[in-house]
C-alpha cells in the first residue's frame, strides 16, 4: 500500500523473460504485440483477484452444488487509446464477459503531467462497476490520474489500472494526486529506473504505441 493506492508488481520468471524480449529494440512488431497480450493475461490474473462474485446453483454430471459466478453489473475494461488497444485481447481473453469502453487521451508534450482528452466511448453511469484501465506505460502518471478521475466523474469507485512498466516518478505522482475516495490499485510487470528529460521511461521499451502499430506522423 502506498497512501491510498495499492501497488502490485508481478514477480515471476515468465514475466521477467517476456519483458526482456519486449524491451529489445530488435523485437518485431508482431512479436511485440503477442508479448503484450501474454503479459496482460498474466497481470489480469492478479488484477481480477477482487472481482465481485455471487452464488450460482448448478448441477454437475454427478451432483448439484453451489458455485460462483461474476456479479452484475459486469466489469468494464477501458483501454486508453491508442497504445491501450494492444492490451485489450489479453484482458478479454481472461475476462470475456466484461464490457469494453474506450478513452482517448494524450500527453501534452509541453506540460507532461497534463492530458488532452480527445475521445471517449463509455456508459454515462459507472456506479457499481468494477473498472479496469489498461495502458502500457505509467510514466509521469498524468494520464492515469486523469483517466481514473474521468471514470470517477461517471460514478466509478472501484478502479484497477494495468500497465506493463512504470517509473517511480509516475507512481509517486499517482499516489499524491489520486482521489482517496476511489478504491484504486495498480498492477505492473516492472518498475524502471526513472524518466529522462523527455519524460520517457528509462530503460523502458520505447514508444509502446509506435512499437505496436508503427509510427504515425
Per the structure, the complete domain to which residue 164 belongs is given by: 6-23+30-50+70-206
The string of DSSP codes covering 136-166 is: SEESSSHHHHHHHHHHHHTT--EEEEE-SEE
- Determine if residue 206 is labeled as part of a ligand binding site: yes
User: Which grid coordinates are listed for 153?
Assistant: 466523474
Q: Determine the Cα–Cα distance for residues 40 and 69; give it in Å rounded to an integer.
A: 22
With H, G, I as helix, E, B as strand and everything else as coil, classify residue 69.
Answer: strand
In contact, 110 and 31? CB cutoff 8 Å: no
- Determine if residue 201 is labeled as part of a ligand binding site: yes
- Determine if residue 142 is labeled as part of a ligand binding site: yes
Please state the pTM of the whole predicted model: 0.88
- 212 in any annotated domain: no
- Determine if residue 160 is labeled as part of a ligand binding site: no
- 59 in any annotated domain: no
pLDDT digits (tens, 9 = 90+) for 79-136: 998 788 889 999 999 999 899 998 887 666 666 556 677 677 888 899 989 999 999 9
Query: What is the domain-level CATH number for residue 126?
Result: 3.40.50.2020
In the chain, the number of structural domains is 1
- 214 in any annotated domain: no
Q: Determine the Cα–Cα distance for residues 200 and 188; give it in Å rounded to an integer.
A: 17
Instruction: Give the up-direction half-sphere exposure of residue 59: CA atoms within 13 A in the CB hemisphere.
Output: 2
pLDDT digits (tens, 9 = 90+) for 123-177: 889 998 999 999 999 999 998 999 999 999 999 999 999 999 999 999 999 999 9
- Determine if residue 180 is labeled as part of a ligand binding site: no
Strands 194-195 and 201-202 come out as: antiparallel
- 113 in any annotated domain: yes
- Determine if residue 182 is labeled as part of a ligand binding site: no
- 64 in any annotated domain: no
* pLDDT for the residue 81: 84
- 60 in any annotated domain: no
- Determine if residue 143 is labeled as part of a ligand binding site: yes
- 128 in any annotated domain: yes
* pLDDT for the residue 164: 95
- Determine if residue 140 is labeled as part of a ligand binding site: yes
- 143 in any annotated domain: yes
Amino acid at each position: 500500500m502506498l497512501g491510498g493506492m495499492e501497488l502490485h508488481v508481478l514477480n515471476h520468471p515468465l514475466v521477467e523473460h517476456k519483458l526482456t524480449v519486449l524491451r529489445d529494440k530488435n523485437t518485431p512488431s508482431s512479436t511485440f504485440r503477442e508479448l503484450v497480450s501474454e503479459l496482460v493475461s498474466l497481470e489480469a490474473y492478479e488484477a481480477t483477484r477482487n472481482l465481485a462474485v455471487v452464488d450460482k446453483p448448478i448441477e454437475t454430471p454427478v451432483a448439484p452444488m453451489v458455485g460462483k459466478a461474476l456479479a452484475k453489473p459486469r466489469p468494464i475494461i477501458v483501454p486508453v487509446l491508442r497504445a491501450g488497444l494492444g492490451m485489450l485481447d489479453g484482458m478479454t481473453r481472461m475476462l470475456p464477459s466484461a464490457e469494453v469502453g474506450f478513452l482517448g487521451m494524450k500527453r501534452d508534450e509541453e506540460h507532461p503531467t497534463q492530458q488532452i482528452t480527445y475521445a471517449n466511448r463509455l456508459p454515462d453511469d459507472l456506479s457499481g462497476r468494477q473498472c479496469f484501465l489498461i495502458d502500457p506505460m505509467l510514466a509521469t502518471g498524468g494520464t492515469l490520474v486523469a483517466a481514473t478521475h474521468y471514470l470517477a466523474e461517471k460514478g466509478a469507485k472501484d478502479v484497477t489500472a494495468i500497465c506493463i512498466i512504470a517509473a517511480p516518478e509516475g507512481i509517486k505522482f499517482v499516489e499524491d494526486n489520486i482521489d482517496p475516495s476511489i478504491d484504486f490499485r495498480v498492477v505492473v510487470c516492472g518498475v524502471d529506473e526513472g524518466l529522462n528529460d523527455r519524460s520517457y521511461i528509462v530503460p523502458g521499451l520505447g514508444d509502446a504505441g509506435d512499437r505496436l502499430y508503427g509510427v504515425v506522423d
